Structure 1
């Protein structure tokens, strides 16, 4: 791994140091071929989303200490779940190519792991990188992140239901290993899903404090996948809509309300074990230490919302727009009192609150998005909702509970997907290795 094993991987023992320097030692021949031939796929990966120029300026304005931050790729859990939520997202879903086999899938996950473990430390995808190789062949790395720090980059990989079995059958000999709860989400009231921005055999969540770093990650991982997987859809996000650490201020969504006040935080290990991480006693055993990711693209009817009077907005959400406090009183973090009439029966905060849902909790990592204007000249904007949970049934129960949410008049669910998120990779191994043991 050259620079990676020497400078980037932090090991806790001599044995881990040795493991960190062991295979994978570089990209496979298929991965290197993808870098040479995958320009078309890479260009598609950055084609979704608007407003990147302004986002770049915002990302560059962040404090130097944040920009230099690097999160370890290897570990018990994948980074990008409880990691402090960054400012920018590039999410991508992929489908495996026809006629690929089990070895293609394994080598792809190995190649992605190797490249991700380098990029999250601020390195290029390979030792030769963007300018260190043969000048007469395409470079391994696209180079737009040259000179940029790691910027808090995390890369999280997921496996979709269709990877285990689809209309072509059990393509990779893993159908019997599919988690029973890993299946496409049921239809919910108000869904208007676009199949072109839903589902996928695989997913990658790249989060960073500089949007160019996040885009660089997806662009290069798309190139590496050339010939084995193709990009199905992708989404850029900005301005986190939740927090995962107590020192992060609660951010606001595009409706102007604080979002994620009651989110599960990284230091709440009991809540994480109960609601986010798959336990060793859960089935299948290879998912222990992992989680399940639900992604929902939620379009917001911005212009309609902006014409609603402030008091009505507060009633719809169930919180004060200014300070984020529940309408029953107190500060932002006061427990809502649902015993009286201060909070409407169909307010969002009432319907979503754990006390009204048998204690169900999920960990949210959503982002705002703006994709320019639609054909009517209105903002194509909304919330790219991401949640992690120990069992997909947690999300399904909450979403069904929200069927009478007053906020539904101002939103549309237009994209959807679910993926199994394996545990973190050990140094010298790769994400998803337990699936093939």
Structure 2
């Protein structure tokens, strides 16, 4: 899955910020600066429709305890720490230097003196958590069905899946890394890190106040992504509801992650004309082919002087467009990554794709299946990691905790 946002999710409505789409029907303003905190408590978890921050540290954990009570205790401890960390505080009440010198500190200390930097922490539960260890099998949502095998994917099991994931987004990479490090520290003996991913340079906008960023192929990405301001579409396409079949997920959503390696060197030797034809947009402005401005409507009927469609039949933006998939939309908030080189002088780089939706079976799966079969972009990308997680509703107040509705 690459460039779904740029494929043209329909955008409706206008306004500065949606009142109903983020924190419990209360108006939410954008942070006045990149140093400021976002609220932690609310009907929905932060880090979904929150204006996408610049940096990511994503981690998937395996639960190592088989005791339900220990897992619940961990979620409560994590929630308390997350509430503090997202407000720019240390992970524990004694902090990095305030406790007994003979004891391990309550915080690792590398973020001392740093502001909140817009940190958000978002938790999700993978299909593997709903086995027979914790008595959760009957509560596995039908929408959390295992993803099918897509043509051409080359998934590496060691960097796929996981019982629990945490997405840390911030404007300062040290703040995001600090948060994940401390959650892993708190979880010692009950969870272990399965895999993690650092990301930089968001590859989509989740608010109209943000400019459209570029991916590592040089194209604007996420032009028509679902936005914070699209309250009606978010209610229909993003947030799970009680009538969906899993009451505990009401106010939650479903996350799909895909690590997509780009064949950077091959792409860089491809002509500009071919690059634009593959994507279906021009590389400079980001306009649909045949149009002039980035936000012009995609016209799939328009033809050039040679009688051929301006946007090719197999162009990425056409294949992924909601109009060809029952009006299915995704809210994307992925990131670029560069993980060094592969030892052969090639960059190990690409897109860490993250998308939220109400039901992956109806949204991500059909779109990705179409792309995997015939998208010419497949010559330049390779899917190497995959994750699927049920993201529970938000934490209401200090007496609540991540995943409470699942364990009630």
Same fold (TM over 0.5): yes
Query: Could you tell me which residue of structure 2 aligns to residue 421 of structure 1?
Result: 391
Name the SS for the 1:83 alignment partner. Answer: coil
2:360 matches 1:392: yes
1:284 aligns with 2:284: no
- By how many angstroms is 1:181 displaced? 2.2
The answer to whether the aligner puts 1:312 opposite 2:282 as a matched pair is no
| 1:303 counterpart (239, 260, 265) | 265
| C-alpha distance in structure 1 between counterparts of 2:213 and 2:276, whole Å | 17
- Corresponding residue pairs, total: 371
How far did 1:66 drift? 2.5
- Rounded to whole Å, the distance in 2 between the matches of 1:354 and 1:360 is 5
1:338 aligns with: 300
**Preserved contact between residue 184 and residue 417 of structure 1 (Cα < 8 Å):** no
Matches within 5 A, 1:70-149: 70-97=37-64, 99-149=65-115
Structure 1 CA distance, aligned partners of 2:38 and 2:338?
Answer: 27
**Which stretch shifts more, 173-182 or 233-242?**
173-182
What RMSD, in angstroms, separates the aligned Cα atoms of the two structures? Answer: 1.3
| Among candidates 228, 237, 257, match of residue 219 of structure 2 | 257
2:141 corresponds to: 179
Instruction: Return the offset for 1:262.
Output: 0.9
- The residue correspondences of 1:193-272 to structure 2 (distance < 5 A) are 193-272=155-234
Counterpart of 1:156 in structure 2 is: 122
The worse-fitting range, judged by mean Cα deviation, of 421-430 and 325-334 is 325-334
Provide the secondary structure at the position in 2 that maps to 1:259. Answer: coil
1:430 aligned to 2:401? Answer: yes
C-alpha distance in 2 between matches for 1:198 and 1:306: 28
SS at structure 1 position matched to 2:314: coil
1:375-386 to structure 2, matched below 5 A, reads 375-386=343-354
Provide the C-alpha distance between the structure 2 equivalents of 1:392 and 1:102, rounded to a whole number of angstroms: 28
Deviation at 1:65, TM superposition (A): 5.1
Q: Distance in 2 between matches of 1:364 and 1:65?
A: 23
Conservation of the 8 A alpha-carbon contact between 1:93 and 1:234 = yes
Cα distance in structure 2, aligned partners of 1:212 and 1:414: 26
User: What TM-score results when the alignment is normalised by the length of structure 2?
Assistant: 0.89
- Counterparts of 1:251 and 1:375 in 2: how far apart (Å)? 29
CA positional deviation for 1:100: 2.3
Supply the distance in 1 between the matched residues of 2:32 and 2:243 (Cα, whole angstroms).
Answer: 40
Aligned to 1:412: 382
Secondary structure of the 1:294 match is strand
Q: Matches of 1:376 and 1:70 in 2, distance apart? A: 42
2:38 matched to 1:67?
A: no
- Give the deviation of 1:105 after TM superposition: 1.1
Name the structure 2 match of 1:33: none
Q: Which deviates further from its counterpart, 328-337 or 418-427?
A: 328-337
Q: CA deviation at 1:67?
A: 3.3
C-alpha contact 1:291 1:420 (8 A) present in aligned 2: yes
How far apart, in 1, do the equivalents of 2:162 and 2:145 lie?
A: 12
Structure 1 Cα separation of the partners of residues 161 and 290 of structure 2: 39
CA contact (8 A) 1:66 1:209 kept: no
2:264, 2:146 → 1: CA distance? Answer: 29
Counterpart contact for 1:293–1:387, Cα < 8 Å: yes
Residue of structure 1 in register with 2:11 after alignment: none
